[in-house]
Every structure is written in C-alpha cells, then in structure tokens.
Amino acid sequence: MILKNRIAIVTGARVGIGRALALGFAGEGAHIVINDIQNEDASREVISQVQNMGRKAIHVQGDVALEEDVGRIVSATLDAFGRIDILVNNAGLRTIAYLGVENRPALEMEVKDWDRMIAVNLRGPFLMSKAVLPQMIKQRQGSIINISSGAGREGVPGKSAYCASKHGLEGFTKSLAGEVKAFNIRVNALAPGGRVDTDGLGGLPAGVIVPAGIFLASDDSRGITGESIIAKDWNQERGIEA
C-alpha cells in the first residue's frame, strides 16, 4: 500500500472524480477527509466505503470559495489526524447551468455567474493550498493535486468562465510548484482527458483519473512537480485500463 497511513483531503469528494480518488487513495492505505458543500448525509455512502476498507474517514462540510470554511476544513483535519500529506483540489463547477442559467457567450454572461465560477474553480484551490501549506512546510513534505481539464489548454465557445478558471489553475499550479519545491512539496495538475460521466450522460468513467492520482499522491512521483498530466494518456502509455 503506497499511501499507508497518509492523510488526504479531497474536496468535492461526494461524487465523480473526487469520490473516485477518495476511494482509490483509501484502497492504497490513506485516511480520507471528505469535503463537500452538502452535509454529511449526502456523503454517507463514500464515508462508509472508506471505513469498510479499514481506513478512517471524516466529513467536513464547506464551500472552498469561502476562507472561513476552508480554515474549518483544515482545522478539522489537523484535530482528527495531526498532519496533512495530500490535498486534492477537486471541487469545482463545470458549467454555468449549475448556477441556474445556460452556457452563454461572455457578452451575455452575468458578472455574478462569472464570479462564482472563478471563485470555486480558482479561488478555492488557492485558499485550500494556502491553508494546508504551513503544515506541509512543517512536515517538509506533501503533495497538492489540482484537478484540471482540457479546457485549461484551449478555448470553448460558451464556456469562457470555465476555460478561464482552468487556464488560471494551470498557471497557479506551475507557479506554486516553484514556490514550495524547496520544502519537498509537489504541486501538479491532473486532467481526465475528456468529459467525465458524473450525470449519466456518457463520457469517461471517473475512475480513469485514479491511477495517475495515486501516482502523484505517492512517493513514486518524487521530483515531479509543476507538471500537467492527462490521465487518459498516462494510462494508455502504461497499458492501464481504468
């Protein structure tokens, strides 16, 4: 078990990629802090699955775009486990439809919708990373994994806010990696390589991201930082079916 007794915070861990990574990490021995904007009842299934593997799991409700909530997530983690080895910045919005409106050109987008997308997808990873780094620096080790997207490398008409947030996340990843490398802390971006099926509409299974996620969280990725990995391609290069 290459993550035995490691402590991992996974934001947005109730469903989709976050859930898949939480369970994948637990399968490799990690104890999991499950964050979601919804209450603990909504995350009960994933909590039970982690515990059934013999690992510890706690749930901390919170909005990663709010500094007060982020502080509570990190404090609860340290109170429960005393350390933080892995942070997965997964919580995010994919479309403006999540905010009650359809995707639309930037010219027609309301400022509040733009602001919410940037707040969750970019401000959230900044706040979470800033909050865990003092503990990781104290430990002289850690791994931060920012869940990105192909939209962080290109433009998609009607999704300017989402693309901007993911382009920003890619830049943040590279910059932060250089800032904390001296403390043996790795910061990398990880994208699935296609649309992930989180709503039954088709797409890649969320599990496609797990093998590369485990690699980046583990000591096997020692020395790898500031990189942006496409999970689908990473799996294919290694003959992994996920």
Q: Which residues contact 98 (CB under 8 A, 6 or more apart)?
A: none
Nearest to 148 by CA among 121, 119, 178: 121
Residue 59: CB atoms within 10 A of its CB come to: 22
Amino acid occupying residue 182: A
Active-site residue among 126, 162, 172, 234?
A: 162
CATH topology of domain 7-237: Rossmann fold (3.40.50)
What three-state secondary structure class fits 30? coil
CB 6 within 8 A of CB 83: no
CB 122 within 8 A of CB 165: yes
Task: Describe the chain by its helix, strand, coil percentages, rounded to 5.
Answer: 50, 15, 35
CB 18 within 8 A of CB 10: yes
pLDDT digit string (tens) for the chain, length 242 residues: 999 999 999 999 999 999 999 999 999 999 999 999 988 787 889 999 999 999 999 999 999 999 999 999 999 999 999 999 999 999 998 776 655 666 778 888 889 989 999 999 999 999 999 999 999 999 999 999 999 987 667 777 888 888 999 999 999 999 999 999 999 999 999 998 866 655 444 467 888 899 999 999 999 999 999 999 998 887 888 888 76
Domain ranges of the chain: 7-237
Q: Which residues contact 205 (CB under 8 A, 6 or more apart)?
A: 196, 197, 242
Distances (CA, A) of 41 to 48, 51, 98: 11, 15, 21
Distances (CA, A) of 103 to 124, 148, 197, 221, 230: 21, 19, 19, 37, 25
CB 220 within 8 A of CB 198: no
Q: Which pLDDT value is given to residue 101?
A: 60
Q: Which pLDDT value is given to residue 240?
A: 84
Amino acid occupying residue 120: V
- pTM beyond 0.75: the answer is yes
Verify whether residue 98 is a known catalytic residue.
Answer: no
